[in-house]
Structure 1
Amino acid sequence: MLLCDVGNTFLHFYHKGKIWKEKPYALTSKRESLPIYYISVNERYERCLLASHSHCVNIAPYIEVDTSYQGLGIDRKAACKAIDDGVIIDAGSAITIDVMQQGIHIGGYIMPGLGAYKMMFKEISKVLDIEIEPGVDLSRLPQNTKDALSFGAIKSIILMIKNTSRTKKIYFTGGDGKFFARFFENAIYDNTLVFKGMQSALSKHI
């Protein structure tokens, strides 16, 4: 089964335990014989997928989550579908935080990702157009601008997650998920989380 998660930067594919990503305008039809079951948060990139592969099935209607949240993104729904209890963090271009409790989505929120922080700093001033340093010392106040920006971005994200998760199990996914998972003892990094949710939904319809 070939799965695809159409995101805002790349298209992520999953097949037989292997994950890879492709740029939307560089798609090939090497796996044309396999149907692609996909979800999408980007209509333009979705059209690239449909133009490159003849047999694609949007499985968004199959993915249902018990929630009162209005407008929960399909990628977040898929990740939540994979976990019954815990906090789900998808750390990508944006960072989404969702809480599942006994199979029910009880709420969530969205924060800028590290790349978005960098872009925001750049918009404020050219002086702040500096790469974020992932190895910044978070145990003491910074003494230079690069560390100050890095400290502010990274620690604000960590503290928000700690405040939300408390004693709950945390499940990280996404491009920066592995980086943030190392700051939490009760964390698991799983880059297949969205695909597991997709598989769970498909198992009831195929």
Structure 2
Amino acid sequence: MILCDIGNSNVDFYQDGKMWNMPHKQFKEFRTQEKIFYISVNQALTQFLQAKEGYIDLEPYFEFDTIYQGLGIDRIAACSTVKDGMIVDAGSAVTVDIMSGGMHLGGFIVPGISAYERAFASISPRLEMPLNPNISLDALPQKTSDALSYGVVRSIILLLEVTCKDKRIYFTGGDGKFFSKFFSNAIFDRSLIFRGMLKTIKEAHLA
């Protein structure tokens, strides 16, 4: 059994505790004899997989308590593993969701670090430069590259601080480990979404 989390940029895989990823184009050529359970936020790939044997879309099997309209299946999978706390998936976008007593109270979305890089480049060629996630936040920047990095990293951290208050924070996603180091009440779990998928597979008796 292989699990697939199909995102906007890549496809993440999980099998027996091992994780890897590949771009969408390569995924279309992927072949295996294993049964594959997947979730997807990419409509084109979802349609592509509907015609393929051995691929099971897990989205219809999730039972999740929320009044949030349009909540992505990746966020549902991550939140379904947490009864109380704040879930932060820091990838191409940073999604934040609050769980209380097993109920989803709501959440919000901000651009991820790579999205900010593209946004700055669209403003001016002089702002087209890579951001440094490890920028020091102890002093005001003295050059443009540091100023961009400082503004992005500090604004995301401050927003998370205001939102989490005294809640436990569960980080996942490509930049999740980086952001988790700023919080004493944080847990980084790269497999959070996959744990939600495994939970649903077990509860729905699919394997």
- Cα distance in 2 for residues equivalent to 1:50 and 1:154: 39
Match of 1:175 in 2: 174
Query: Which amino acid counterpart does residue 148 of structure 1 have in structure 2?
Result: A
1:76-87 maps to which residues of 2 (within 5 A)? 76-87=75-86
Query: Does 61-70 or 117-126 show the bigger shift?
Result: 61-70
Query: Which amino acid counterpart does residue 84 of structure 2 have in structure 1?
Result: D
- Cα distance in 2 for residues equivalent to 1:154 and 1:108: 19
Query: Which amino acid counterpart does residue 156 of structure 2 have in structure 1?
Result: I
- Cα distance in 1 for residues equivalent to 2:112 and 2:59: 25
Q: Are the aligned partners of 1:85 and 1:101 in contact in 2 as well (CA < 8 Å)?
A: yes
For 1:171, what is the secondary structure of its paired residue? strand
The alpha-carbon deviation at position 48 of structure 1 amounts to 5.2
Residue identity (%): 48
For 1:66, what is the secondary structure of its paired residue? coil
1:21-170 maps to which residues of 2 (within 5 A)? 21-27=21-27, 28-31=29-32, 33-47=33-47, 49=49, 54-170=53-169
- Cα distance in 2 for residues equivalent to 1:12 and 1:134: 22
The alpha-carbon deviation at position 135 of structure 1 amounts to 2.1
RMSD across aligned C-alpha pairs, in angstroms?
Answer: 1.3
Match of 1:10 in 2: 10
The alpha-carbon deviation at position 201 of structure 1 amounts to 1.1
The alpha-carbon deviation at position 175 of structure 1 amounts to 0.5
1:194 aligns with 2:193: yes
The alpha-carbon deviation at position 117 of structure 1 amounts to 0.5
Query: Which amino acid counterpart does residue 107 of structure 1 have in structure 2?
Result: G
- Cα distance in 2 for residues equivalent to 1:147 and 1:154: 10
For 1:108, what is the secondary structure of its paired residue? strand
TM-score (norm. length: structure 1): 0.95
The alpha-carbon deviation at position 64 of structure 1 amounts to 2.0
Q: Please list the CA deviations of residues 125-162 of structure 1 after superposition, one character each: whole Å capped at 9, or x if unmatched.
A: 11100110122111111111111100000000000001
Query: Does 88-97 or 130-139 show the bigger shift?
Result: 130-139
- Cα distance in 2 for residues equivalent to 1:64 and 1:155: 35
For 2:69, what is the secondary structure of its paired residue? coil
Q: Are the aligned partners of 1:79 and 1:193 in contact in 2 as well (CA < 8 Å)?
A: yes
- Cα distance in 2 for residues equivalent to 1:82 and 1:23: 26
TM-score (norm. length: structure 2): 0.94
Structure 1: segments with no counterpart, 5+ residues: none
1:20 aligns with 2:6: no
The alpha-carbon deviation at position 47 of structure 1 amounts to 4.5
Aligned length: 204
Q: Please list the CA deviations of residues 59-84 of structure 1 after superposition, one character each: whole Å capped at 9, or x if unmatched.
A: 10111211111111100000000111
Query: Which amino acid counterpart does residue 193 of structure 2 have in structure 1?
Result: V
The alpha-carbon deviation at position 30 of structure 1 amounts to 4.2
Query: Which amino acid counterpart does residue 129 of structure 1 have in structure 2?
Result: E
For 2:203, what is the secondary structure of its paired residue? coil
Q: Are the aligned partners of 1:64 and 1:77 in contact in 2 as well (CA < 8 Å)?
A: no
The alpha-carbon deviation at position 2 of structure 1 amounts to 1.2
- Cα distance in 2 for residues equivalent to 1:204 and 1:68: 22
- Cα distance in 1 for residues equivalent to 2:90 and 2:49: 23
